A = this chain, B = another copy of it.
Amino acid sequence: MVKRRLTAQERYAQVVKVAMRLFSQKGFKGTTTRTIAQQAGISEAIIFKHFAKKEDLYSAIIDMQCNDRQGQSILMKRLENKKGREIFKEIASFLIQKHRDDPTFMKLLMFSALEGHKLSNIFMKTRGMETLDFLAKYINNLIKNGRFKKMEARLAARAFLGMVLYYSITQEVYGMKKFFRTPVKRVVDTFVDIFFEGMKRRRG
């Protein structure tokens, strides 16, 4: 088994991947370039051939994550044949499962926001807002056709995303999954039921 020499692009991508994992586990300050090099199986100098400064690794991660529409398109496919309550169920279970299977990006985003890097800013302004607006738009439709009561749609969207994403944060980051092992389906059903019933327009 001989290690093939990687091309610049391959190595670049690998280092970004390793850095992302480590930043999400230990934070930017908590991750050393030495460790990144070790985990990537190369010498430190190689990292600095590709990235002038350690900080530049963060920019590369931003590019990668902001351009990666894979997760979004998977979700959109899953939403195609759904409507009403099922839309919210699909979104909730998608998010909870995604973060349960791999909390890397969620943690990275939290670290980024706390450490004041641009990643969280850029991501929130683009992808975060997209998600919020998508939900708000959908909620607005339900308001217009009278199934939901009049309501500030974006605020309602934040309420829904709050239930779901704070659940993921407490489970995966705050370690609640050691104490609460409720099946995803029940969690989703409960959250969506509360939200959907709470949003319903009622006569009288």
Option from B152, B156, B176, B190 in Cβ contact (under 8 Å) with A159? B190
Q: How far is the CA of A158 from the CA of B96 in the complex (A)?
A: 14
Of the candidate stretches A14-22, A53-61, A78-86, A162-170, the one touching chain B is: A162-170
User: Nearest-CB distance from A189 to chain B (Å)?
Assistant: 10
Q: Which of B162, B173, B175, B193 contacts A166 (CB 8 A)?
A: B162
A residues in contact (CB < 8 Å) with B: 26-27, 29-30, 107, 110-111, 113-115, 120-121, 124, 128, 151-152, 154-156, 158-159, 161-167, 169-170, 173-176, 180, 182, 186-187, 190-191, 193-200, 202
Which residues of B sit under 8 angstroms from A167, Cβ to Cβ?
A: 158-159, 162
Q: List 10 A-B contacts (CB under 8 A).
A: A27-B27, A27-B30, A30-B115, A114-B114, A124-B170, A151-B190, A156-B194, A159-B163, A165-B166, A195-B198
- Distance in angstroms from A36 CB to nearest chain B CB is 15
* Bound form: Cα–Cα A194–B136 in Å: 15
- A196 CB, nearest partner CB in chain B, Å: 7
Residues in B whose Cβ lies below 8 Å from that of A186: 152, 155
CB distance from A133 to the nearest CB of B (A): 12
Grouping DSSP codes into helix (H, G, I), strand (E, B) and loop, the A interface class, with mixed when no group exceeds half, is helix
Min Cβ gap A129→B in Å is 8
A120 touches B175 (CB 8 A): yes
How many copies of this chain? 2
CB distance from A89 to the nearest CB of B (A): 14
Q: Is B161 touching A166 in the complex (CB atoms < 8 A)?
A: yes
From B115, B174, B190, B197, contact of A124 by CB (8 A): B174
B174 & A120 in contact (Cβ 8 Å cutoff) = yes
CA A191 to CA B159, docked complex, whole Å: 6
Partner of A29, one of B29, B120, B187: B29
Given A174-B113, A195-B198, decide whether A187 and B155 contact each other with a Cβ distance below 8 A: yes
Closest to A121 in B: B175
Bound form: Cα–Cα A194–B159 in Å: 8
